Amino acid sequence: MRIKKYYILNRILLILLCTFSYACSLQAQDLHFSQFFNAPLTVNPANTGFIPDADYRIGVHYRDQWSSVLAAPYKTFSAFGDAQVLRNKIDNGWIGLGAYILSDVAGSGTLRSTQVYGSVAYHQMLGSGSLVTAGFNLGWVNKQVDASKLTFPDQFNGVFFDNTIHNPDDILSRSNFSFFDMQAGVNYAYFPTDKIYLNVGYSIQHVNRPQETFFDDNADDSRVSLRHIGFISAILKPDDKVILNPNAYFTTQAKATELMFGLNANYNLQGAGEKQLIMGLYYRWGDAAIAVAGFELDHIRFTFSYDITTSALSQFNNSQGASEFNLLKSGYYNDGGPKDALCPEF
């Protein structure tokens, strides 16, 4: 009986910790994906039209977090598309146009976030071996919560939570709010040979510091903090069968930070890369190891990843963190499209 009570207590503590962590993230950390390398427009608006091996791409992304311990796990869905335009109109340059949507549902109170962004970027070649890019986006964000599903300390009568004791309307001034948001970023790419491609980028999100609160409060601490994101990546071709893609990503917002780094490897199964096997391994500092596996067929790529918790939370969730699915389609405007890819290809 003591063991069972201890187990139940641990589960309750974990749920409280997860809920508290997410509540803090409203002020400290935005939504994020472990497969950040497959969510280019959410990382940096300068990535819009920054497609080294195609003219356009469209993708969908799904993340399910803490489903092993929470009755209402955190679920995030994203869809995006971007393309290169005016490539024949601008001398050694082009415009990138794109858009993405994010939908996130979290917790028993069904905290829902919906984000819609449109982005534009300008890309300019510097000689034949490097490229510089600047971009920005504008977006609309809505957040809402079902207060009837929330529980408060004064509702607990020692046995269970009594929803008749407390009126959530006494706490929250509104159940939803919306605001406009702006982000900006820059990129630089260097590709001295057809076997080496290096890319580094930096972006700032929430440049306009919008207000985010369910309360009648105009205080500065209800404004969204600036979020800084930096990343570096490479595409290397050591031989005709293998392409390596190391990536590193760092972000900071308020007092929250996240550091991720790792490597993907593509193995050519057929011809000029019509079929590819993808394997990868990443590490989120102090939190989780991420295993990646995928398959690409004729420019349609499916990638699955799983977060294996390595922090103290692992004793509560049995190291079962989050799963992600990404589906990406890229291509040229016509079958005989440009073959002058900037990065290594099979």
pLDDT digits (tens, 9 = 90+) for 59-77: 999 998 766 666 667 889 9
- Is the pTM higher than 0.85? The answer reads no
| H runs (alpha helix) in the chain | 2-28, 40-43, 314-317
- Condensed to tens digits (0 to 9), the pLDDT of residues 85-129 reads 998 888 889 999 999 999 988 766 678 899 999 999 999 999 889
- Condensed to tens digits (0 to 9), the pLDDT of residues 226-266 reads 999 999 999 999 998 999 999 999 999 988 899 999 999 99
pLDDT score at 232: 97
pLDDT score at 175: 78
Tokens of residue 115, six digits: 């984000």
Residue 178's beta-bridge partner residues? 142
- Condensed to tens digits (0 to 9), the pLDDT of residues 332-342 reads 887 555 556 78
Q: Given a cut of 80, is residue 199 above it in pLDDT?
A: yes
Q: Given a cut of 50, is residue 178 above it in pLDDT?
A: yes
pLDDT score at 157: 67
Residue 86's beta-bridge partner residues? none
Choose between 186 and 30: higher pLDDT.
186
pLDDT score at 228: 96
Give percent above pLDDT 70 in the chain.
77
Closest CA relative to residue 182, chosen from 137, 126, 150, 236: 137
Largest CA distance in the chain: 76
pLDDT score at 309: 85
Q: How far apart are the C-alpha atoms of 254 and 265, rounded to whole Å?
A: 34
Average pLDDT score over residue span 194-213: 93
Domains annotated on the chain, with CATH: 2-331 (2.40.160.40)
User: Residue 36 in contact with residue 190, Cβ under 8 Å?
Assistant: no
Average pLDDT score over residue span 30-36: 84
Choose between 198 and 87: higher pLDDT.
198
pLDDT score at 330: 93
pLDDT score at 234: 96
Q: How far apart are the C-alpha atoms of 69 and 320, rounded to whole Å?
A: 9
Radius of gyration of the CA atoms of the chain, in A:
22
Q: Within a 13 Å sphere around the CA of 246, how many CA atoms are in the beta-carbon half?
A: 9
Tokens of residue 173, six digits: 């001034």
Average pLDDT score over residue span 270-274: 84
User: Residue 227 in contact with residue 30, Cβ under 8 Å?
Assistant: yes
- Condensed to tens digits (0 to 9), the pLDDT of residues 125-160 reads 998 899 999 999 999 999 988 776 666 666 666 666
Average pLDDT score over residue span 39-58: 94
Q: How far apart are the C-alpha atoms of 124 and 159, rounded to whole Å?
A: 65
Q: Given a cut of 80, is residue 57 above it in pLDDT?
A: yes
